[in-house]
Structure 1
Amino acid sequence: MQSARGVSDVGERSLSALHRSSRAEVPNARFEQEFFGELRTLFGAEAVAVWFCPGNETLYLRHQQNLPTEELQRSPEEWQRHGRLLKQVVEVGKPRFVPPEWSADDAGNPTSLEILIAPAAVVGTQQVLLEVFRPRGRRNPAIDGPAELELLARAAEFAADRTRMGQLAGAARERLQLKSRDSFAQRIHSTLDPRKVAYIAANEGRDALGCDRVSVALGRGRSVRLAAVSGQPKPDRRANQVRLLESLVREVVAAGEPVVYGPGTRQAPDRAAHWLTAYLTDAKPATLFVIPMRGESGKRGIGALIVEQFDNQLTPEALVDGVNQTAAHTSLALQNALAHDRVFLGSIRRRIGTFFAETIRLRTLITLALLAAIVTAMIIVPWPLRMEGRGTLRADLRRGVFAPESGVVREVLVRHGDRVHAGQILARIENPELVLKLQEAREQLVSTSESLKLKQVQLSDRNLSPQKAIEVDGEIAQLNERRLNLNLQVSLLEQRIEPLTVRAPMNGVVATWQPERQLLNRPVNAGNLLLQIIEPEGAWTMELNVPESAAGYVLEAWRTRPEGSRLRVDYILATDPERRYRGWLSEISPRTEIQGDKHAVLMNVVPDPDDPPPLRDGAEVRGRILCGERPMGYIALREIIEFGHSRILFLF
């Protein structure tokens, strides 16, 4: 009776919370946080684990929180004893309490914690095991022993329901994936180009498997390289993850044995163990397959298929069949492509054969004539060379208003767009620490002055002994010196407090947007920018950041321009991209600046007074500087020509 009452009064609320957190639509991260958290509270547990038994001798760790792996894996024998304990619970089919460090019949609890285990059926012979670890003797006083096991068994049923629903959803996904795999099988064998085969295997293989990422490596021996990564046009060979993955793949291809990694699963050849650990530490996949692919003879490696999942939604057992099928199709397609590609001068002969197989007709001659005319025009016809830069439109006359001291802005007396005059109060900053120091200094000054007066009166006493007069005279000297120091301290504090009443440094307009909202009652540090004051009636300048690769053409045109002339700049504003304005280059910075991750040269452009833009401080500008004329072909292929000079010809 007590047990039933304990379950109804204490456990029902927890069971309700466990049921809500174990529903199939709850993400794994939230499931582990809420479901395990409720179990730990209910049973006073330190660790919780969920195991899945697919109906054979293998157990998979699906979820865990604070699992005492150090005690469980202290030695292979202890890990095996714990596994046999779990299998015994599966065979018996009833929940079980296991005391700390208990063992019998090669099964046992190698930890110093009590273990409660409850099984629950999923489908057929599949079962879920819910395992709870707690310190010796810790109990929930409202629940007795049998009630604990009953509650744990019901919680295990919730976990089994979640697994069952996940399998049903997985079956639906698998039906969709079967269609994707059929399409994948057709596409993978539609080309004899090894690179295209790798690209199709990576991108369409990911869709067919429903995983997060698929990669394909090609080559043999130490020359295995990553050829394609799903979702990327080209692998970044300089990336640390790519280098680690290539090192792992080389060892797997050389060993000829696959890598299978996932929750509770780690299978890898010994020679690849180091690189597997390094890659797992860097990339952190939840599930990883590296399947080596062999040539026609079955002896020579031609590459590998890499499949990754970064969450626990797809386990190795859920992916293994699809991965093996995908690897088989990819391996066969690569064998055919490589065999076709190894034909001597095969690619050149195919192109020549295709060219001569087509009849040269009139339209072909016309096309060739047009191409010749285009090439001639690109060599002969001049075209304006314009270098592009981006920047902002700014008023030349501008001043920033900075916080003189740390404090809290208590008053903001201006708004955006207000016209102010030099010396006008803009804001007031409060620094209680300075005010307190000033008050203390003034009080000490008054006290010192009073003490000085008393000592002076005492010194004027004719009955004062010579010895005492000397002492009093010395005290007066000390008090005078202290009074001077306090006067200086008061003066310095007053000088620091006075600028807390922030004043305008010049006549102009407040350019800061909603200053009261940004500053009022907010702490500031000395030197923080509070407001921007600009004079919109004065001159305006555009500051363009021209990439360093384009700045050379501008500098050359600037140096060779006729005396007294300027370089024309056509620009548009981001607020009105359809309207083009004209300006003139006025100044070029003598140094290169770093803008983000690129180098750029700062150039000032003055708007043409006959073609003024709408004046808006900080407006984004895109300008093109006219740098003379060049052949049309040079302008069209400028970046390719520069690449050839800097990356190819420079090496010779």
Structure 2
Amino acid sequence: MNSPEEFVLAAERRLNSDPQTADLTTALLSEVMEEFDCGHVTLLQRHRSTEVLEHLGACAPVSELPDVSPGNVHWQSRKTKTISLAAAALTDDQQLLLHAEFEDRVPDEHLLSALVEILADIRRRCLLSQVMTDAGIHQRESFAIQLFSSLDFSDTVHTIATDGAVVTGATRVTVARRIGQEWIVQATTGVTETNDRSDAVRKIRELIARQESQQSPSAAEPNALVAPLHRSGDWSETDWAIVFEFAAPPTSAQRTTASVTTQFATTAVRNCSSYAERTILGQVSRRMRSIGRRRMLLAASASVLVVLSMLIPADFSIEVQGVLVPADRRFVFAPEDGIVSQLPVTDGMEVEIDAPLCMLENSELETQHERLVGDLAGAEARLAAIAAIRGDPLASPQQSGMLSAEEAELNQKADSLRKQLSIVNQRISALSLKAESAGRIYGLRLQQTLFRRPVQRGQFLFETADPEKGWQLELQASELDIRHILEAESAQDSLRCRFTLRTSPEKIRHATIRSISQSTEISPNGTLETTLIADADSDEFKEQRSGAGVLGSVYCGRRAIGYVWMRKVIEFIQRRTWL
């Protein structure tokens, strides 16, 4: 064998065929020893001291070895033997040394340097593998310590979701609990509070339900592992499940780590359940033993009050909030890109119909207009010249035919230019904005924000409204409360609303709900809300500022007084437990 590749191939064959060969390093040293009939071959690691890693053959002293720089070979002759010491860089401050004794055949220096470099690479891979193994063990130990440090369900499931992803290498770990007939996500990696309506949560719930019905791994999701949190792995024995999601199909090592993590999670959830049951039962038992006659009387009185609260009716209203605006309002938008050249209106100014509101300048439209006018004038002048030439009796028939073709082409071009000019004139005319109806201007700091400033097409400028034609309320109802308003709308002839202005909370006013939006929108706060439009009964808002804040309540009939008082608590329990 004359090349490093041949030695590596021979070492791999020896490793696969000889069960006594421990690793590739031993196999490669054995090939070197047999190929060159060495007295001994020793592999050493030098840092601050020299350590023997592998030794084959007769014993040889390894102390007081000379310093050899990486990539070089030190030779020493002793009678009939030749001793070599080859060095390779293992790390920044460590070397790997190959100490060998040759009798007859001595290898080439380049071959020996290449072999020691290969051995150094194998050694680096072994060290890296050991570091990775130690890191994984440390991660699992830290995960177990953190997991079993709390008996609170919330802390435990969030530890499983967060630290479990780190330990297993999963992109996301989810813990879900079966409540009724549905699986509810309790915690997931990287999310503080889960949204049950999100596509990701629905996908996870469907994946768990499908896995539970199959009772075996699903081939439809090759990148996910789903398991019940129970020692037996039986879905009917537990109400908890765990889902591991990976970027690619999990490897054997990831499956093993996920299985260990599932066992830890199973024990932690069972500990939390046992603690919760023991704590609740203990508290109830102690309280029952400590209640005397007087406390029993108080408990009975409280029970009577609870029953009465379920029987006595009371007015039921849903809180809403919004703004007070004129009923007849129009929004003014920029018809084209441009610069506001004229702005004769100010905030609060009264305007009549067709009164000028603002004027825009658009240099591109003006340039296009001038070009079209010039092109059209040129085409018409050429048509006039052709008409004059065709009237000349000396013109030849061939010349007349050419003029006729040019005239037809120019007529077609002139028609196209006139149409383009008409469109440009309409766009220029639209730059002058006029009031569509009489009213008042509403806009904040118009002169400072708009005059001599560029605007874009479709940009909101300001609004006009007529406060003399009535006012209306634009109210927002929470998605959690809109069902009560819809039920009241179907049961009543009209929905009444009580409201107060934020600027004058001492006075209660009344309005009638005119319409309810058919869609739900996301508010600036990120919550889902439905818009209600109400006509205000009072005409005292003529001087009121448009957009004044409103707090109100919509009357939704009568319900049990206990439900009216505790509605939010009851609905919270329904959403979290019963549904």
TM-score range with shorter-chain normalisation? 0.5 to 0.7
- Which residue identity lines up with residue 294 of structure 1 in the other structure? R
Q: Report what 2:231 is aligned to.
A: 294
Structure 1 CA distance, aligned partners of 2:212 and 2:310?
48
**Residues in 1 aligned to 2:242 and 2:571: alpha-carbon distance in whole angstroms:** 37
Which residue, 567, 592, 606 being the options, matches 2:518? 592
Equivalents in 1 of 2:239, 2:308: separation in Å?
47
C-alpha separation in 1, matches of 2:516 and 2:193: 39
* 1:339-360 deviation digits (Å, cap 9, x = unpaired): x99xxxxx9x999988975665
Instruction: Give the C-alpha shift of residue 542 in structure 1.
Output: 1.0
Structure 2 distance, partners of 1:468, 1:235, is: 81
Q: Which blocks of at least 5 consecutive residues in structure 2 are unaligned?
A: 1-22, 30-42, 47-68, 72-87, 97-112, 248-252
Q: 1:28-177 alignment to 2 at 5 Å?
A: 120=91
- For residue 549 of structure 1, what is the aligned residue in structure 2? 483
Distance in 1, matches of 2:70 and 2:272, equals 53
- Compare CA radii of gyration and give the structure with the larger one: 2
Correspondent of 1:540 among 471, 474, 478: 471
Cα separation, partners in 2 of 1:528 and 1:369, compared to 1, 3 Å: same
Q: What is the CA–CA distance in structure 1 between the aligned matches of 2:328 and 2:460, rounded to whole Å?
A: 17
Identify the match of residue 551 of structure 2 among 622, 625, 629: 622
Contact 1:568–1:626, Cα closer than 8 Å, also in 2: yes
Contact 2:472 2:535 in 1 (8 A): yes
The equivalent of 1:632 in structure 2 is 561
* Structural mapping, 1:460-475, within 5 Å: 460-461=391-392, 463=394
Q: Which residue number in structure 2 is paired with residue 497 of structure 1?
A: 428
CA change 1:634–1:504 in 2 (3 A) is: same
Cα-to-partner distance string for 1:149-183 (whole Å, 9 max, x where unaligned): 9xx99xx9xx99xx89x97xx98x99997875664
- 1:229 is aligned, of 183, 187, 205, to 187
Question: Is residue 2:380 matched to residue 1:417?
Answer: no
**SS of residue matched to 2:335:** coil
**Secondary structure at 2:222's aligned position in 1?**
helix
Among 441, 451, 456, which residue is 1:509 paired with? 441
In structure 1, C-alpha distance between the alignment counterparts of 2:563 and 2:174, rounded to whole Å: 39
1-structure distance, mates of 2:332, 2:146: 63
CA contact (8 A) 1:585 1:606 kept: yes
2 CA distance for matches of 1:92 and 1:408?
Answer: 80
How far, CA to CA, are the matches of 2:378 and 2:456 in structure 1? 34
Relative to structure 1, is the Cα distance of residues 293 and 497 closer, same or farther in structure 2, using a 3 angstrom cutoff?
same
> How far 1:532 sits from its partner (Å)?
2.4
Using structure 1 for the length normalisation, give the TM-score.
0.49
How far is 1:368 from its partner?
0.9
Matched, 1:278 2:235: no
Specify whether residues 414 and 320 from structure 1 end up closer, same or farther in structure 2 by C-alpha distance, changes over 3 A only: farther
Secondary structure of the residue aligned to 2:347 is coil
Match of 1:240 among 199, 203, 212: 203
* Aligned partner letter, 1:602: L
Q: How many residues align?
A: 447
Contact 1:224–1:249 (CA<8 Å) still a contact in 2? no
**C-alpha displacement at 1:632, in angstroms?**
1.7
Check 1:355–1:426 CA distance in 2 against 1; reply closer, same or farther (3 A cut). same
Contact persistence 1:428–1:501 (CA under 8 A): yes
| Percent identity over paired residues | 17
- The unaligned stretches of length 5 or more in structure 1 are 1-82, 98-116, 126-144, 189-195, 255-270, 281-288, 342-346, 562-566, 647-652
Is residue 579 from structure 1 mapped to residue 513 from structure 2 by the alignment? Answer: no
CA RMSD of aligned residues (A): 6.4
**Counterpart of 1:239 in 2: which secondary structure?**
helix
Residues of 2 paired with 1:627 and 1:301: CA distance? 45
SS of 1:603's equivalent?
A: strand
1:606 is aligned to: 536
The structural deviation recorded for 1:120 is 3.7
Q: Does the Cα contact within 8 Å between 1:408 and 1:524 map onto a contact in 2? A: yes
Task: Tell which has more relative contact order, 1 or 2 (C-alpha 8 A, sep 6+).
Answer: 2
2:493 is aligned with 1:559? yes
Deviation (angstroms), 1:401: 1.9
